[in-house]
Structure 1
């Protein structure tokens, strides 16, 4: 942890200790902090992408099967804004349908367009091949406009893991006071690291949370691969995966107030720039 991050998290440390949580437990929790980038349509940070806009893809890239959400200019992302091994340039395009799936399948995709690639404008509505009016109305409500980045710090929002050998859940391994520590973060996050509609890296968040949304996404990816709806190989070990991006759709899309889109990817796929191997999981409590 950098001195700047430790100083930024000092109010969290002070509040946790004031609530009676031992200093050792607090320090172990602080050691889990990760850098992330919060993207908003206002603020003073640099413009690093856009919600919506024209869909520009290489001619040989198939039409994505899900609605276009946003594009990110990786060269414009502030240095060290995340700890993800992202390419230094090029564009990352995010696609998603922000509803939970009836069957185990990905609800979105990611396309990486290397810098200098020849691109052509594509039909942003091609995903809706059946011309379903309700789906089109949802897509038309997607946010539009430039996205500005603010480097932030992220701590876990979740506090429990599901037991593998019996029903129920328990504290995060190595963190017996995890529920209390997550509660402290929830109470102070708006002051320390305000959230935005889109987050790159860090920890996943959603409306009702006690276990890690990343772990849920990994389980769904494994189930999708086993059902033949997503190509393997797929690791069931959560430590082999990272959160690529979160989209809190409730900040932007009326009717989807409690929905969150999680784009996740295996570490080795991210390092190899196999963004077509990203999996998209959605939490929605309609």
Structure 2
């Protein structure tokens, strides 16, 4: 990791030691730090992509179901900045929609277009975003959300990331969760990170790489999303096995902030082994929402994790 980014963790280290957390526990936690890229819509960093814009795809790529959120320049997102082995060139397209899904289904998809590939302007197949006459679906809420999707350039801010979660699945059959193995003070360390990270990390709407988080992070959202992908595979009757949850990584996180989806997050996760192969067909997008007031908008499905915020 870039030493300058590691130095930014000094406030976290000082606060943890000041609370009496043993130095060896603190250093083991800091050793988990990962580089990440926060993409912002202002500042003077290099432009690495954009929110929105026309959807341009190769002729042989199927129409995506979800609307386009962002297009990223892979060459402008090197591994030393993101911690990810992204393709060395071309564009990475993130699709998604902030809505709960059934049976672990994905809330988005990812497409990589190699440099120099001919493309044509396309549209999505999602009727509840653009509406279709006679489809019988009330798209009022969905249309209001889609109209708020950002349409701006995205600039790069190198960042640093530590875990927000402190629990892991139990190794015992039928067990629930345990403290992260090897980190007996994980809950305390995650709490200090939650309290100090606002003065350390960059505030931006889209994050590439690093650790995933949302408003109720206790277990790793990446592992949770990977478990959802496995549930969806079984529900489809797909015989192709997926890697274990611990073998997935965060590709991107959108901290949504749309009116009607306050407190929500989209995570795109991918099997780590797929990145060097430049394949994204197994990518899975997981939507988390912690609504307040607790009643979600019309047509949505109650969330499965977390709890409503208290006023």
**Category of TM-score, reference length = shorter chain:** over 0.9
For residue 150 of structure 2, what is the aligned residue in structure 1?
A: 143
Q: Secondary structure at the match of 1:135?
A: helix
Q: 2:237 and 2:187 mapped to 1: Cα distance?
A: 35
For residue 20 of structure 2, what is the aligned residue in structure 1?
A: 20
CA shift at 1:198, angstroms?
Answer: 0.5
Structure 1 pair 197–183 and aligned structure 2 pair: CA distance change class (3 A)? same
Q: Secondary structure at the match of 1:271?
A: coil
Q: Given the alignment of the two structures, is residue 199 of structure 1 paired with residue 207 of structure 2, yes or no?
A: yes
Structure 1 pair 268–75 and aligned structure 2 pair: CA distance change class (3 A)? same
Q: 1:111 and 1:231 mapped to 2: Cα distance?
A: 23
Q: Secondary structure at the match of 2:224?
A: helix
Q: 2:283 and 2:233 mapped to 1: Cα distance?
A: 13
Q: Alpha-carbon deviations, 1:16-74, whole Å to 9, x = none?
A: 10011000000000010000000111122111001001111111111101111110011
For residue 30 of structure 2, what is the aligned residue in structure 1?
A: 30
Q: TM-score, normalised by structure 1?
A: 0.93
Q: 2:4 and 2:92 mapped to 1: Cα distance?
A: 28
For residue 189 of structure 1, what is the aligned residue in structure 2?
A: 197
Q: 1:158 aligns with which of 161, 165, 168?
A: 165
CA shift at 1:195, angstroms?
Answer: 3.3
Q: 1:6 and 1:248 mapped to 2: Cα distance?
A: 24
User: Does the aligned pair in 2 maintain the 1:106–1:230 contact within 8 Å?
Assistant: no
Please, which moves more after superposition, 37-46 or 20-29?
37-46
Q: 1:12 and 1:28 mapped to 2: Cα distance?
A: 13
For residue 262 of structure 1, what is the aligned residue in structure 2?
A: 267
Q: Secondary structure at the match of 1:92?
A: strand
Unaligned runs of 5+ in 1: none
Q: 1:231 and 1:273 mapped to 2: Cα distance?
A: 22
Q: TM-score, normalised by structure 2?
A: 0.86
Q: Alpha-carbon deviations, 1:239-276, whole Å to 9, x = none?
A: 311110001112xx111111111100111222211112
CA shift at 1:277, angstroms?
Answer: 1.6
CA shift at 1:168, angstroms?
Answer: 4.0
For residue 128 of structure 1, what is the aligned residue in structure 2?
A: 127
Q: Given the alignment of the two structures, is residue 110 of structure 1 paired with residue 110 of structure 2, yes or no?
A: yes
For residue 297 of structure 2, what is the aligned residue in structure 1?
A: none
How many residue pairs match? The answer is 282
CA shift at 1:231, angstroms?
Answer: 7.5
Q: 2:273 and 2:178 mapped to 1: Cα distance?
A: 29
Q: 1:255 and 1:274 mapped to 2: Cα distance?
A: 33
Q: 1:79 and 1:226 mapped to 2: Cα distance?
A: 33
Q: Secondary structure at the match of 1:81?
A: helix
For residue 54 of structure 1, what is the aligned residue in structure 2?
A: 54
Q: 1:163 and 1:101 mapped to 2: Cα distance?
A: 26
User: Does the aligned pair in 2 maintain the 1:70–1:93 contact within 8 Å?
Assistant: yes
User: Does the aligned pair in 2 maintain the 1:104–1:229 contact within 8 Å?
Assistant: no
Q: 2:229 aligns with which of 221, 228, 248?
A: 221
Q: Given the alignment of the two structures, is residue 173 of structure 1 paired with residue 178 of structure 2, yes or no?
A: no
Q: What does residue range 36-115 of structure 1 map to in structure 2 within 5 Å?
A: 36-77=36-77, 80-115=80-115
User: Does the aligned pair in 1 maintain the 2:103–2:235 contact within 8 Å?
Assistant: no
